[in-house]
Structure 1
């Protein structure tokens, strides 16, 4: 696994890395990862079930929340498959084509989650700034179009990067620095000019994450402007409180995402543990924390969970 002879991408086999220096503890390390993944899947499936079965939640805000839950699960599932294979000592090998598919889904759903958060910011803007037109603007048909557009917008720009990778020769070490495949990680192993992938990849990040961040920021500027014009202190608090969960979800996604991207590009010689730690936070924390935040901060979701997990009479007494 040191330096291998030059090989084409399609015939290449790569080797995934667990937690360097802690290989003998991999089975124990897998326990918290299993718990986090279980909590994330359970929480997001619960959100989806509540939104689907409770007709009171058939509103734009909760449709977008269901999209967020689906995206969270889709983003965390592909890397968890190979992570557990490595930690349980099943296999560290991954074929190039499998690596590219995994890489595509991880990056595509990361961008999709950003698009969903932008749509949720738009939802809050319309609900607070144009409440009387809320139901007529955000119709189920428009919400479906927003979801499809977000998915296409997040996945189509990645195709040139994936195609370009298939033409790279790999003559350096085939050992990846994570237990799953990331674009930034694999291009550094190529024995070819990677300037296109590096530059185009950075442009995609700026155009998608950057524009989403800008859109969210502008939405909240208008929201704050509208809230500050409210005469009632209670009304201002209620309006801002409906945004609290969304703001937390934005921070939970963007802070680790930006940190991981910056580390890969500008801190390549930092400790491998930092790269691995940030990568796992980026993929595991949003799916775990988002259902918890929305169940705590959103009354309707909290009531739905109480009715789901507690007997009817107990749930009604708690509420």
Structure 2
């Protein structure tokens, strides 16, 4: 994505400046995750959406700040997720709570949410504040939904999709919408890019969950099989339950035996559940792509579509 290389480079510089804190432990904890890198997919999407909808394909100062705010919110959610999910590594390095402790990690996540809220308020756009604030509410609701369904083999695919929206897709959908609000675009364009982000986010999460079964840790940014271990039942497992009754027994026992996770993954791979999960992911991805291809055929939509394709290529 050569057209936004400069913006992405500047983003990293600004993130370090934005999370500056007087307390060295808070700063160190927050800095730890930023130093772990990441693909910066969410800011890249905001930059490219900006180029598509703005005159002269420019990215406004406010849209650049929105991209930074979105990445801080995403990072804050990862710090909290790692504590809740007992995930000890993130992108190949020790998670914040393993270097410090759970209390410091939670406080570091709260600090990042607070910083993002401060910068969000300084955009002086009430509609954007309302739109982005919903993301943080959705994160919390998604975690509660996930916790309530822990090791619950009665969970439906629809409930799983609903939870995936709150935990992942809401961030992309709302940040895409907020990008259009900052350019004073009408409701139909706001809605188009909200739906673009929603379906892209759902596809992204389903693909991530497929990789938890089929992938390796370095591709995931976290240990594989972690969802099963934590009782987070995802599409591949839900869809395999009707074919393999032994999975129900392992879920009831909460994968308590040493080789249960390995056995469960092997059992899921014997079914067509992974292919069915891929089909669902591809369906959402096509809905996302269709919005761009039908209404926004510009130079920078090609680069935005390449993000969709790169996400899809992770399972192909």
The TM-score, its normalising length taken from structure 1, stands at 0.35
User: Which is bigger in relative contact order (C-alpha 8 A, separation at least 6)?
Assistant: 1
